[in-house]
Amino acid sequence: MWQALTGCIAVGARLRSRGMQIDPQCMRCGMAPETVNHTLFECPPALQVWALSPIPTAPAHFPTAGLFTNMTHLFWHLPTNDDRMRMYPWLIWYIWKARNDKVIANVDWDPNEIIVKATAEATAWATAQEKSETRYPSSSSPEETTIVEDVCQVDGAWKDTEHRAGLRWYFCNLEFGDKIMGTCNLRRGISPFQTELEALLWAMQCMLRLNKLLMVFQTDCSDVVKMVSKLEEWPAFSTLLDEVDRCKRKFISFSIMQIPRKENTKADKLARSARALPTDVYYVNSVSSAWIPELL
């Protein structure tokens, strides 16, 4: 979904706009340029899947010609009391897979098959969440905590009314008391969730650059802990998670745990102050910068 929203899907119209000499028309229906929105929502085979799925559809409401309108509908306007609604990321995923199978191998998927697969994946995912909730946060064992003294708290600040999201990490060595912090802002992503994940990824990259290879990361976002522990279960975030996974392998010891929001205040304040700034900010230092006076 993140890829869809940022236009990182290799549909005809996107490739054409990047200068590739290909026909931007949809190869399945030939009725419109193959945009991300057309492929996932408006192409007749996709429309059929949405119509047959439990996700509520209504003319001029969903699906529409606007990618962001469609995603907003899925993110925030679905009934919250119906478990079947959580299947939408897998519907998107299988609609995309079906498109590829058609374009690459001329294989047709039955729309009902897509719904059955998406339902199964969503159920499997929900079951896995129940199990991992009892297991996390506890990824750092007592033995590990006695060895690893380097802790890095991460946080992301996201607000739908602001154009920028703030990322922040706060590194501390428990034995020597060394402190380093980093904060930056970037164009706001689609959800607070993505920002939390981006904050973690940036913190991991910075720690690797600082040669801190025995790390405990702390976040107040329980979903980030789950995502990092079960990367394969979050196909919608696969691009970011692949990167997290690559970085993770470079650490000698890596663990991530959830801490209560009230214990993550330094990270939170830094992230919020970065989010509020109108321009690009990128700051890594051992002391706080002047625009975050409360941390000095």
**Per-residue tokens: 93:** 């995923």
Q: How far is CA 138 from CA 58, 134, 264, in A?
A: 44, 9, 17
Please tell me whether residue 28 binds Zn ion under the rule CB under 5 A: yes
With CB under 5 A as the contact rule, the residue among 5, 29, 128, 257 that binds Zn ion is 29
Q: How far is CA 118 from CA 226, 232, 245, in A?
A: 20, 15, 25
By beta-carbon proximity to Zn ion, the closer residue of 43 and 240 is 43
User: Beta-carbon neighbour count of residue 231 at 10 Å?
Assistant: 16
Given the rule CB under 5 A, which of 26-34, 62-70, 82-90, 275-283 is the region that contacts Zn ion?
A: 26-34
Given the rule CB under 5 A, which of 42-50, 88-96, 205-213, 285-293 is the region that contacts Zn ion?
A: 42-50
Given the rule CB under 5 A, which of 13-21, 28-36, 132-140, 199-207 is the region that contacts Zn ion?
A: 28-36
Gap between the Cα atoms of 101 and 70, Å rounded: 24
By beta-carbon proximity to Zn ion, the closer residue of 40 and 236 is 40
Q: How far is the CB of 7 from Zn ion (least distance, A)?
A: 17
Measured in whole angstroms, the distance separating CA 256 from the mean position of its chain's CA atoms is 17
Please tell me whether residue 26 binds Zn ion under the rule CB under 5 A: yes
By beta-carbon proximity to Zn ion, the closer residue of 26 and 207 is 26
**Per-residue tokens: 282:** 């990128």
By beta-carbon proximity to Zn ion, the closer residue of 29 and 277 is 29
Measured in whole angstroms, the distance separating CA 215 from the mean position of its chain's CA atoms is 22
By beta-carbon proximity to Zn ion, the closer residue of 37 and 153 is 37
**Per-residue tokens: 18:** 């990047």
Q: Which amino acid is at 261?
A: R
Longest dimension (CA), the chain: 65
Please tell me whether residue 43 binds Zn ion under the rule CB under 5 A: yes
Please tell me whether residue 277 binds Zn ion under the rule CB under 5 A: no
Q: How far is the CB of 31 from Zn ion (least distance, A)?
A: 6
Binding site for Zn ion (CB under 5 A): 26, 28-29, 43
